[in-house]
């Protein structure tokens, strides 16, 4: 069975600085997808970034980028130039290749506080 | 695009009553929708997978007779909590997958409080 582990329950960063959130996963699959979702205080889940396992290039979305290490089964999220609006709970998630049910397996979450 | 709505956003009900929560994909068709439950400061727990035109698939430990799911159309799935009890109080979130895509788009959630 697949598992996703986020080992940092809480983190904080000063506004404008850079922070990295860790995520590791365990799977025997070769075809899968990885995601980072953000859940701000409103509790609306927002997709931050996604990565296809078959792509070697790390995904980037503006200030958000990932460091995808397939062999190490690691998928960390880097937030550059942190903003107050980045304060949220961040979830790493895994999904097997599309031939199955499309279920997401979530990590435990990391609460990020951006300080002014 | 890819907007998912939920209604109601919050509901308070008496113990023993049933509550229906709607999940709609507003600008796309969703053959698959998912229902999650989330306790404060915890991760999302998948309850069931809802497929249009067929019976929902429930995760282990989730009572299908208590949490009734109906995926009546390509844009609507409903979750009915039957004979609700205080322990059913939680935050319920739905998500929808657009077509054959891989990304789940989430609704804003429904806060249920059972007195």
Q: Measuring CA to CA, how many Å separate B12 from each of A50, B40, B62, B81, B94?
A: 36, 17, 22, 12, 19
Residue of B nearest to A52 (CA): B102
Asked whether the beta carbons of residue A111 and residue B43 sit closer than 8 angstroms, the reply is no
Question: Which parts of chain B have pLDDT scores under 70?
Answer: 1, 100-101
Give the bridge partners for A87, in sequence order: none
- Asked if A53 contacts A70 with a C-beta cutoff of 8 angstroms, the reply is yes
pLDDT beyond 70 at A43: yes
pLDDT at residue number A99:
58
Residue A32 touches chain B, beta carbons under 8 Å: no
Residue of B nearest to A46 (CA): B106
Q: Is A42 on the interface with B (CB under 8 A)?
A: yes
Asked if the C-beta of A104 comes within 8 angstroms of chain B's C-beta atoms, the answer is yes
Query: What 3-state DSSP class applies to B30?
Result: coil
- The secondary structure of A5-51 as a DSSP string is E---SEEEEETTS-EEE--EEE-S-SSEEEEEEEE-TT---EEEEEE
Give the pLDDT confidence score for residue A1 in this predicted structure: 77
For residues B11 and B112, the answer to whether their CB atoms sit within 8 Å is yes
pLDDT digits (tens, 9 = 90+) for A16-25: 999 999 999 9
Cβ separation A91–B46 shorter than 8 A: no
Task: Using an 8 Å CB-CB cutoff, list residues of chain B that contact chain A.
Answer: 32, 34, 38, 41-44, 46, 49, 57, 91, 93, 95, 97, 100, 102-106, 108-109
Report CA B25 to chain centroid distance, whole Å. 12
Q: In this predicted structure, what is the pLDDT of residue A101? A: 66
**Which residues in chain B are closer than 8 Å to A42, comparing Cβ atoms?**
108
Residues of A with CB below 8 A from B91's CB?
Answer: 43
Q: Tokens for A36?
A: 């980072």
pLDDT higher than 70, residue A10: yes
Chain A residue with minimum CA distance to B94: A45
Distance from CA of B35 to the nearest CA of A (A): 11
DSSP B41-62: TS-EEEEEEEETTS--EEPTT-
> What's the confidence (pLDDT) of residue B37?
96
User: For position A20, what pLDDT does the model report?
Assistant: 98
Q: Which residue of A has its CA nearest to B111?
A: A43
B49 contact residues in A (CB cutoff 8 A): 101-103
Unique residue bearing structure tokens 């550059």: A80
* Peptide bond connecting B8 to the previous residue in cis, omega within 30 degrees of 0: yes
pLDDT in tens, A55-108: 989 999 999 999 999 999 999 999 999 999 999 999 999 998 865 567 899 999
Smallest CA–CA separation between A98 and chain B, in Å? 7
């Amino acid at each position: 069975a697949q598992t996703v582990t986020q080992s940092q329950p809480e983190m904080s960063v000063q506004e404008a600085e850079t922070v990295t959130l860790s995520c590791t996963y365990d799977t025997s699959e070769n075809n899968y997808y990885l995601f980072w979702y953000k859940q701000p205080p409103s509790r609306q889940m927002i997709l931050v970034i996604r990565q296809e396992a078959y792509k070697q290039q790390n995904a980037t979305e503006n200030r958000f980028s990932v460091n995808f290490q397939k062999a190490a089964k690691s998928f960390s999220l880097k937030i550059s130039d942190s903003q107050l609006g980045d304060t949220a709970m961040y979830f790493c998630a895994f999904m097997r290749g599309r031939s199955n049910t499309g279920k997401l397996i979530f990590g435990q979450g990391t609460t990020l506080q951006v300080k002014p | 695009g890819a907007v998912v709505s939920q209604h109601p956003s919050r509901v308070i009900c008496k113990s023993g009553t049933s509550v229906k929560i709607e999940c709609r994909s507003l600008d796309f068709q969703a053959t698959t929708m998912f229902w999650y439950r989330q306790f404060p400061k915890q991760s999302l727990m998948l309850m069931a997978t809802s497929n249009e035109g067929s019976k929902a698939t429930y995760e282990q430990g989730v009572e299908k007779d208590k949490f009734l799911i109906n995926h009546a159309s390509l844009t609507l799935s409903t979750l009915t909590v039957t004979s609700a009890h205080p322990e059913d109080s939680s935050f319920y979130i739905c998500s929808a997958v657009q077509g054959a895509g891989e990304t789940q788009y989430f609704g804003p959630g429904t806060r249920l409080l059972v007195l």
